[in-house]
């Protein structure tokens, strides 16, 4: 699988060769279309709510001199054409 962190095959167009399968991250319109059409196999979807929530908590803890964890896992979800329409997946798309 190929993933450059901001697209599907290094150039973000979802048109790369399908030798070992391809994946992308997040869920912009072009990537979702490529997933539905089978041009990519999967997307790694981040949790934007979790990221915002963790940032607010970390900011409050810093303001109160409480310290923070060095690494904060805000979660991710692996989505495929099969689970794309599930309600919990749809809630994470923006």
Q: Is residue 81 part of a domain?
A: yes
Name the domain count of the chain. Answer: 1
pLDDT digits (tens, 9 = 90+) for 4-30: 444 444 444 444 444 445 444 456 788
Kindly state whether residue 79 falls inside one of the protein's structural domains: yes
DSSP percent split of the chain into helix, strand, coil, nearest 5: 35, 15, 55
The boundaries of the domain holding residue 30 are: 23-46+75-92
The predicted model scores a pTM of 0.56
The rounded distance, in Å, linking the Cα atoms of 25 and 76 is 10
Query: Per residue in 36-71, pLDDT tens?
Result: 999 999 998 888 888 999 999 999 999 999 998 888
Q: What is the mean pLDDT of the chain?
A: 77
According to the model, what pLDDT value does residue 80 have?
A: 93
Going by pLDDT thresholds of 50, 70 and 90, the confidence category of residue 88 is confident
Q: Read off the tokens for 33.
A: 């279309």
- 8 Å CB contact between 44 and 76: yes
On whether residue 16 sits in a domain, the answer given is no
Q: In this structure, is residue 1 part of a structural domain? A: no
* pLDDT at residue 16, rounded to an integer: 46
Measured distance CA(89)–CA(42) in Å, rounded: 13
Q: Which pLDDT score is estimated for 48?
A: 84
* Residue 8 lies inside a defined structural domain of this protein: no
């Amino acid at each position: 699988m190929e993933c450059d962190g901001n697209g599907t095959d290094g150039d973000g167009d979802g048109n790369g060769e399908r030798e070992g399968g391809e994946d992308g991250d997040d869920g912009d319109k072009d990537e979702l279309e490529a997933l539905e059409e089978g041009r990519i196999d999967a997307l790694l979807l981040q949790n934007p709510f979790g990221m915002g929530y963790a940032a607010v908590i970390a900011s409050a803890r810093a303001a109160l001199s409480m310290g923070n964890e060095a690494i904060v896992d805000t979660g991710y979800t692996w989505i495929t054409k099969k689970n794309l329409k599930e309600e919990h997946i749809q809630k994470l798309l923006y």
